[in-house]
Structure 1
Amino acid sequence: MNDETLARTALLQSSSDAATRVFSTILTRSPISRIDVARLTGLSQAAVTKAVAPLVAAGLVNDSRDPTLTGLPGRPVSPVAVVPDAVVAIGVKVNADELIGVATDLTTRTIASERVPLTSHEPAHVVDAIVELCGRLRATIGDLGARLAAVGIAVSGDVDSETGVVRDSALMGWRGVALGTELAERLHQPVVVENDVRALTIGEHWFGVGLGTGSFAIVTIGRGIGSGLHLNGEVVEGAYGVAGEIGHLPLTSPDHTCACGRRGCVEAVAATSAIVEAVQAAHGRPVSIDEAVALGRAGDPAAVSAFAEAGHVIGAAIASLVNLVGPELVIIGGEGVANFDLLETALRESYAEHVFASADRARIVVRPHTFEDWARGAAAAAIRSLVV
C-alpha cells in the first residue's frame, strides 16, 4: 500500500457519519448530483458540499465541471462520481476444493481473477494458498497493486467478522480458526473475514439488484443452503455473527442427518451432496451431480423425486423467511441455480402453500451467481470495511 492509498483509507476511516453517508451514496450511485446526494442522505446541500471537498482533494471522488442537465429547463448540475481505481480490493471465495480470487476497483468491477486448487483443508495450507493467490493477483494488476487497501475472505459457516475468526465451518471442518489474524500478518494488509452468503449480500446491497431496495433476502442453493438478509437499509449480521441460517431450519424428517451433525435440517435433503446421495442410494452406484441432473431431466424417478424433495423443503424455508421478516424481494442464487428447472415447480408450490397473507407480495427473482461473483462479494465486504 503506497502513501497515497494510506492517506485515502485513513480519510475514509476517520470520516464523520455524514461524510461516510455521502461517500457511500456517491460510491453506489455515481455519477450523481449533489442535490440527489442531499435527498438520499437527508443532509443539507451545504453539508454535502463540505463532505465532498476532502474526497475530491484525496482523489476518491471526481467533481465534474461539465454541467449536465437534470431534465428541468435551466437547472444544470455538476455531478460527482467515485474514482473507481483510486483504491483496489481483493476478494477470495474459499471453496472445498479451490480458491477463487478477484482484484476489483472501488465499484467491485473485476480487474483480474485467479484460481488456486486446495489439496488440504488444514488452516495452514489454506493460508498459504490464499497468500499465493493474492500474490498472483497483485502480479497480474501490476502498478495498481500499490493501491490495494484491503482483502476480503468469504468462508462458509459461522464467522465472527469482528475478530476474523471462523468459529465453525462444516464445509472446511474448521472450529475456532483465527483466519483474519494469520492472513493480516502474512499479507501486511487489512483483512476482513466474512460468511460467504453475507458477503454476497453486501455485494448485492451496494452494487447489485438490492441497490435502492429497502429490504431483500438472498437464498443460495448448491453445496449448502444459505441466506443473507438486508433489512431497513442494512445487512443483518446478528448479535453473534449468525443470521439467516435457513439451511439449518428443522423442516424435514429427523431421519435425515445434516453435515452439521443435527437432524432434519433443510440442507440434509436440499444440499447438492444430499441430492446426489439420494440418487446414488436408489441406483446402487456412485453418481455425480451432473449425472443426477441429467437423470432428472430425462425423467428418472429417483432423481426427479430427489430434486422435488429439495425444492419442496427450500420453498418452505423461503416462506418461513418471508413470514418472519417480510422482504420486498427474494433473490435465489448460488451454483444450484443452474439446475433450478428441476426444483422450481416443487419450490414455488411449497412456497405458495406456506407463505402468509400479504407477505406473498415479495418478488422472487432467480439470479445465477458464479464463484467470481462470490469473490466479488468478499471484495465488497473489504471495501465496506473501509467506508463504514
Structure 2
Amino acid sequence: MSITTETVGANAERARSHNRQMVLDRVRQAGQIGRAEIARGSGLSTQAVSNIISDLLSDGLISEQGRKATTRGQPPVQYGLNPVGGYAVGIEIRPDAIFATVLDLCGKPVASLRRTLAVHDLNGVTEAVVAAKSAIIEEADLPASKVLGVGIVMPGPFGRTGLSGTGSELSIFHEVSPTDWFTEALNTPVVVENDANAAAVAELVAGAARGLDTFACLYFGNGLGLGLIQDGRLVRGAFGNAGEIGHIPVTSKGRAVPLEAALSRLAVQKHLANAGFDIRSSDGLAEAYAARNAALMTWLDAAAAEPLSHAITIIENMFDPEAVILGGAMPDAIFDHLISSVTLAERSVSNRPGRTTDRLLRGASGRMTGTLGAGALVINRAFTPRIAAVAR
C-alpha cells in the first residue's frame, strides 16, 4: 500500500472542510461561476456543491452575481466572492516599526497603520503587536465575527540555524514558536511566515502573480529573501526557511560575496553612505533616482550586471518558475531599472519559445508588500484546500 496526496474533492462528510475551501477557491479564481461549472471542475457532485454554496451564502462569504446568458434553458446563477464577507488582519514586524493592515475578502486593503517599535525584547514586541491588532480593527470598524485571523510576518530565518547572527533575523524568537506565542497572545487564529514568503502570497492573492500557478518572488526587505509558489501553494521547506537566497554567494566586482551584500536595500544604503549620501527611506531613494544620483546609478548598474543576473539564473534553473517577481521596500522606478538592465541567461530553462509571460516582473503590491502579504496569508489559507492523504 502506498500513500498519495490529492486535491480533488470528496463527498464524504469528513472532507467537508476541504471541499468548502475547494469551492471557495474555484469562485475566487473564476471571478464569477455557476454551480454546474464548479461541480465539473472539482469532481464534486452537483448536490454537494449546492450544499456548500448554500452554507457559503449563509456565512456571507459569497453572493449571487446575476445570471449567465445561455442559448437555451434557464440561465444559471453566478456566484462571486463577497468582499465584505470576511476580513484578514496583517501585521509586519520590522526592526524599527510595526505595520498593520486589514484586507477584505478580495485582498483589497481597507485600513493601515504604522507604529514605531521602541522596545525590542520579546514582551515589548508582543505588546506592540497586540496593540496594533486592536488599533487596526478599531480603525476599520470591524466586528470580531468578521475577522478570519491574523497573519504575522517577520524577517527570517526562523530558529537557530547556521545563518543565526547575520543580523537579518529576529533572534528574540529563537527559543519560542512564533505561531504558538502569538496565537495565545492574540487569542485568535494566527499564521506566521517570513517576509519573503508573505510577499509571494501577496502577489498571488492580489498582485502581479494573478493567473500564475508557479513563480518566485525576490523580496527586498531587511535583507533579501525568496518566496516560492508551486502549483498555487507556498514552498516553506522543513522549518519554514526555504528561500534564504540572500546568503548564497555570487560574484560581484570580481569577488564572491553573499547576494544580499551586493543586492539589497541595506547594500544600496551602505554604498550611498560611503559616497556621502545618508538616504534611508524609500522616498529618499526615489528622489535620488529621479535626480539620477551618480552613486545610485553606479550601484544599480553593478547590481544588475552580475549579482542580480546570477541570482535570476539560479532561480530559473533550480525552480523553473513561470516568472520571477521583484518586490519589496524599494521604489518602483528602481525595480524597473533593475529589470531593464539585467542580463537574462540564454542557458536557462526559462528561455523558451512561446512564452506568454515576461521572465521578470515588478511586483504590484508596492512597499507594503510584506504587510499586505501578512493579511493575504490568512485569505489564502481560507481558500486553499488541504491535501488529503489517500491510501492506495
After TM superposition, is the score higher than 0.5?
A: yes
Deviation, 1:267, is: 0.1
Q: State TM-score, norm by structure 2.
A: 0.79
Deviations 1:118-148 (A, max 9, x none): 1232222111111111111122233534422
Q: Which amino acid aligns with 1:186?
A: A
Map 1:269-288 onto structure 2 (within 5 A). 269-281=262-274, 283=275, 285=276, 287-288=278-279
Question: Which AA in structure 1 matches 2:58?
Answer: A
Q: Distance in 2 between matches of 1:356 and 1:249?
A: 20
CA contact (8 A) 1:89 1:148 kept: yes
Give the counterpart letter for 1:230 in structure 2: I
1:95 shift after superposition: 1.8
Q: Which has the higher helix share?
A: 1
Q: How does 1:174-253 map to 2 (within 5 A)?
A: 174-176=172-174, 177-252=176-251
Distance in 1 between residues matched to 2:143 and 2:154, nearest whole Å: 26
**Residue aligning to 1:336:** 330
Counterpart position of 1:259: none
SS of the equivalent of 1:31 reads: coil
Q: How has the CA–CA distance of structure 1 residues 368 and 24 changed in structure 2, closer, same or farther, with 3 Å as cutoff?
A: closer
Whole-Å Cα distance in 1 between the matches of residues 135 and 102 of structure 2? 10
CA–CA distance in structure 1, aligned partners of residues 135 and 112 of structure 2 = 9
Q: How does 1:1-388 map to 2 (within 5 A)?
A: 15-63=16-64, 66-69=66-69, 72=71, 76-159=75-158, 170-176=168-174, 177-252=176-251, 264-281=257-274, 283=275, 285=276, 287-289=278-280, 302-312=295-305, 313-338=307-332, 339-346=334-341, 348-349=342-343, 351-352=344-345, 355-356=348-349, 358=351, 361=355, 363=358, 364-387=360-383, 388=385
CA distance 1:32–1:209, change in 2 (3 Å)? farther
Structure 1 residues 377 and 179, CA, compared in 2 at 3 Å: closer, same or farther? Answer: same
Deviation track 1:138-193 (CA, whole Å, cap 9, x = no partner) reads: 22233534422311101111248xxxxx9997243445143333322232211111
Alignment match, 1:4: none
Q: Tell me if structure 2 keeps the 8 A contact 1:255–1:264.
A: no
Residue 328 of structure 1 aligns to a residue in which SS?
coil
Distance 2:303 2:194 in 1: 23
Cα distance in 1 for partners of 2:84, 2:158 equals 29
Give 1:25's aligned amino acid: R
RMSD across aligned positions (CA) = 3.3
Equivalent pair of 1:30/1:81 in contact (CA under 8 Å): yes
CA–CA separation in structure 2 for the residues paired with 1:60 and 1:123: 36
CA deviation string 1:280-322 (max 9, x = no partner): 33x3x46325667766666666443322222231221012111
Residues 196 and 67 of structure 1: CA distance in aligned 2, closer, same or farther (over 3 Å):
same
Q: Any idea what SS the aligned residue of 1:121 has? A: coil
Structure 1 pair 198–298 and aligned structure 2 pair: CA distance change class (3 A) = same
| Residues 39 and 237 of structure 1: CA distance in aligned 2, closer, same or farther (over 3 Å) | farther
Structure 1 residues 318 and 52, CA, compared in 2 at 3 Å: closer, same or farther? Answer: same
**Corresponding position of 2:390:** none
Moved more, 291-300 or 172-181: 291-300
In structure 1, stretches of 5+ residues that fail to align are: 1-12, 161-165, 257-262
* TM-fit CA distance, 1:42: 4.1
Per the TM alignment, residue 116 of structure 1 is displaced from its structure 2 partner at its CA by 0.9
Could you list the runs of 4 or more consecutive aligned residues of structure 1 that deviate by over 4 angstroms after TM superposition?
A: 72-75, 166-169, 253-256, 289-302, 359-362
Deviations 1:23-57 (A, max 9, x none): 22224443322233234434443442233232223
Structure 2's unaligned 5+ residue stretches are 1-13, 386-392
Secondary structure of the structure 1 residue equivalent to 2:257: coil
Give secondary structure in 2 for the equivalent of 1:92: strand
C-alpha separation in 1, matches of 2:32 and 2:195: 29
Counterpart of 1:7 in structure 2 is: none
Give the TM-score of the pair, scaled to structure 1: 0.80
The code of the aligned residue for 1:68 comes to K
Q: Supply the AA of the counterpart residue of 1:320.
A: I
Residue type at the aligned position of 2:372: R
How many residue pairs end up in the alignment? 360
Distance in structure 2 (CA, Å) of the matches to 1:279 and 1:141 = 39
Per mean C-alpha deviation after superposition, the further-off stretch among 99-108 and 217-226 is 217-226
Report the CA distance shift for 1:365/1:118 in structure 2 as closer, same or farther (over 3 A): same
Indicate the SS of the match to 2:345: helix
Matched residue SS, 2:240: coil
Asked whether the equivalents of residues 84 and 104 of structure 2 are also in contact (C-alpha less than 8 Å), the reply is yes
Structure 2 Cα separation of the partners of residues 265 and 98 of structure 1: 26
State how far apart, in whole Å, the 2-side matches of 1:226 and 1:354 are.
24
Amino acid at match of 2:325: I
Identity of aligned residues (%): 26
Q: AA paired with 2:338?
A: L
